[in-house]
Amino acid sequence: MPDIKEKTENLGHTAREQAGKVGDKAKDATSNVMGAVKDTFSDVSNSAADMASKAAGQVRDTAREWIGNAEDMASNAARNVRTAATDAAHTVGDLSEDLTKIIQRNPIPSVLTAMGIGFLAAIAMRRSST
C-alpha cells in the first residue's frame, strides 16, 4: 500500500505544481491583457486629446480669420462713408456756389422769390396752428 499512497501523494504534488503553473500563467496572461488594455486606453485618450487640441486650434484660426474679415469690412465701410460724405460736401458746395451766382445775376427776382416762399410758409404755419 505504501506504493499507492506514494503515487497518490506524487500525483497530488504534481497536480498542485501544475495548478500553480496554470495559475501563474493565468496571472501573467491577465497582467499582459491589463497592460495591453492600459496601453490601448492611454493611446486612445492621447489621440482624443490631440484631436481636441487640433480642433481647438482650428476654431481659433477660423475665429481669427473671421475677425480679420470683419475688421477689413468695417475699414472698407468707414472709407466708403468718408468718401460719400466728402462727395456730398463737394456737391453741396457746388450747388451753393451755383445758387450764389444765380442770386448775384438776378437779385430782384431772387428777393421776390424768397418773399413768396416766406409768405407761403407763414400761411402754412398759421393754418397748422389753428
**pLDDT tens, position by position, 52-68:** 888 888 999 999 999 98
Q: What is the pTM of this model?
A: 0.44
Q: What is the model's pLDDT at position 46?
A: 82
pLDDT of the residue at 130: 65
**How many folded domains does the chain comprise?**
1
pLDDT for residue 29:
77
Exposed/middle/buried for 71, CB within 10 Å: 0-12, 13-18, 19+? exposed
Distance CA 81, CA 99 (A): 27
Q: Give the residue from 82, 110, 112, 111 showing the smallest Cα distance to 98.
A: 110
From first CA to last CA, the distance across the chain in angstroms is: 143
Taking 70 as the pLDDT cut, the residues of the chain under it are: 1-2, 5, 130
- Note the pLDDT of residue 81: 93
116 within 8 A of 108, measured Cβ to Cβ: no
Q: What domain range includes position 56? A: 2-129
